[in-house]
């Protein structure tokens, strides 16, 4: 084995111990650099650069749900941060209305998901009651609920069902992600399996059905072996027909995707001394395999699903690291690519 092979193997096999809460406390992003100190030099450089842009991160336990749980927690946390009681009440109503999507489009019986939806709406109601008078108590409650395995997993599976129904509601929009697999087969062997990590399509669906309808954008920092000392970032936001963001100043959620794991990122640059102290704390994160993601497209309301002519079958897509076929190869390392002759699906990339 040559040096490069050894470095790649070390990066792939880096699996911290499975320990700690489902959702951890915020800590300095300097701690991530320490985790990768002996890994592939490219990962070392990119993780070392993290604190320049993202001051903190929140570790999510890798129990097979880390991507779903990270996006879900960030959804509630962002609503809490906005402290808008009217918006929270609107979210309660929206979550209840989406039961229609689950039954009429997703094909799920109400008895299957009622208890899960209740956990989601109950948490929203509790946050609503506390957001104006006791926001710190609301923050503690959110963390407590997401670290209660029964409650947390119920909310996560509710979001799995929403993502599944989103896919069933507009197959042409997403078929390019799974060109060789039928929708029912994909759902049966992927999204609907408990404790199976989110893949690129799952993350796209979750963003489309949960976050984009309320104007939340998502920036995912993607660590791969592409050249450079800075990791690539991909922006997911609602756009009009001309590709113009419809809510350019809306709330932003930051997620970190590194080989096999998702965590939440923050740009809370404040007390630098405290950040250094936090970096010395122990970090234990179990990472299970999660695949990459691709550019989402707008999703219509549950009562008005429309087909889309979007096709993800250009040669650029087939040869890029977005192509799911590559992920069947355990030795595949995504690389940065630049379209030359064809336009790929629209993607926003920021530095």
Q: What are phi and psi of 117, to 5 degrees?
A: -60, -35
pLDDT of residue 7: 44
Residue 1 lies in a domain: no
HEC profile of 24-58: CCCEECHHHHHHCCCCCHHHHHHHHCHHHCCCEEE
pLDDT of residue 215: 96
The predicted model gives 32-41 an average pLDDT of 84
Residue 239, pLDDT > 60, answer: yes
Tell me the CATH number at 246: 1.20.1300.20
Q: Which of 61, 99, 300, 104 is nearest to 197 (CA)?
A: 61
Residue 339 lies in a domain: no
User: Based on the structure, what is the number of domains in the chain?
Assistant: 1
What sign results for the dihedral spanned by CA atoms 253, 131, 160, 244?
A: negative
pLDDT of residue 269: 57
| Chain centroid to CA 152 | 16
Return the residue matching tokens 């989601």. Answer: 120
Residue 220, pLDDT > 80, answer: yes
pLDDT of residue 304: 44
Q: Note the pLDDT tens digit of each residue in 82-136.
A: 999 999 999 999 999 999 999 999 999 999 999 999 999 999 999 999 999 999 9
Q: How many residues comprise the chain?
A: 351
Residue 267, pLDDT > 90, answer: yes
The predicted model gives 308-324 an average pLDDT of 35
Question: pLDDT tier at 36 (50, 70, 90 boundaries)?
Answer: confident
Residue 245, pLDDT > 60, answer: yes
Q: Note the pLDDT tens digit of each residue in 167-181.
A: 999 999 999 999 899
Residue 159, pLDDT > 80, answer: yes
The predicted model gives 182-198 an average pLDDT of 94
Residue 118 lies in a domain: yes
Residue 217 lies in a domain: yes
Residue 326 lies in a domain: yes
Rounded CA separation 350/235 (Å): 7
* pTM (predicted TM-score): 0.76
Rounded CA separation 69/141 (Å): 16
Question: pLDDT tier at 15 (50, 70, 90 boundaries)?
Answer: low
Residue 328 lies in a domain: yes
DSSP output for 214-257: GT-EEEEEE--S-SSSS-EEEEE--B-TTS-BSSTTS-EEEEEE
Residue 308, pLDDT > 50, answer: no
The predicted model gives 253-268 an average pLDDT of 91
Domain that holds residue 74: 7-334+344-350
Residue 319 lies in a domain: yes
Residue 2 lies in a domain: no
Question: pLDDT tier at 270 (50, 70, 90 boundaries)?
Answer: low
Residue 230, pLDDT > 90, answer: no
List the beta bridge partners of residue 23: 60
pLDDT of residue 316: 31
């Amino acid at each position: 084995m040559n040096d490069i092979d050894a470095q790649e193997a070390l990066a792939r096999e880096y699996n911290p111990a499975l320990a700690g809460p489902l959702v951890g406390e915020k800590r300095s992003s300097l701690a991530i650099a320490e985790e990768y100190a002996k890994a592939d030099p490219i990962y070392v450089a990119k993780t070392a650069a993290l604190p320049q842009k993202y001051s903190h991160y929140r570790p999510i336990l890798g129990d097979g749900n880390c991507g779903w749980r990270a996006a879900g927690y960030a959804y509630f946390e962002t609503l809490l941060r906005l402290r808008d009681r009217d918006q929270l009440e609107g979210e309660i109503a929206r979550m209840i209305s989406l039961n229609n999507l689950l039954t009429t489009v997703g094909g799920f019986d109400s008895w299957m998901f009622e208890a899960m939806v209740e956990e989601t709406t109950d948490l929203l109601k509790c946050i609503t009651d506390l957001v104006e008078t006791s926001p710190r108590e609301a923050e503690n409650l959110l963390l407590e609920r997401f670290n209660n395995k029964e409650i947390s997993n119920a909310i996560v599976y509710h979001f799995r069902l929403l993502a599944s129904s989103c896919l069933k509601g507009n197959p042409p929009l997403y078929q390019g992600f799974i060109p060789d697999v039928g929708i029912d087969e994909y759902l049966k062997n992927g999204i609907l399996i408990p404790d199976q990590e989110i893949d690129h399509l799952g993350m796209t669906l979750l963003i489309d059905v949960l976050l984009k309808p309320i104007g939340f954008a998502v920036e995912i920092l993607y660590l791969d072996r592409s050249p450079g000392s800075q990791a690539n970032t991909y922006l997911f936001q609602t756009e009009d027909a001309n590709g113009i963001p419809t809510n350019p100043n809306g709330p932003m959620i930051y997620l970190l995707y590194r080989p096999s794991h998702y965590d939440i990122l923050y740009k809370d640059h404040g007390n630098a001394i405290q950040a250094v102290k936090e970096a010395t704390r122990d970090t234990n994160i179990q990472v299970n395999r999660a695949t990459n993601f691709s550019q989402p497209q707008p999703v219509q309301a549950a009562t008005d699903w429309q087909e889309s002519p979007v096709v993800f079958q250009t040669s650029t897509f087939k040869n890029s690291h977005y192509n799911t076929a590559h992920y069947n190869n355990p030795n595949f390392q995504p690389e940065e690519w630049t379209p030359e002759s064809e336009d790929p699906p629209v993607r926003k990339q920021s530095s």
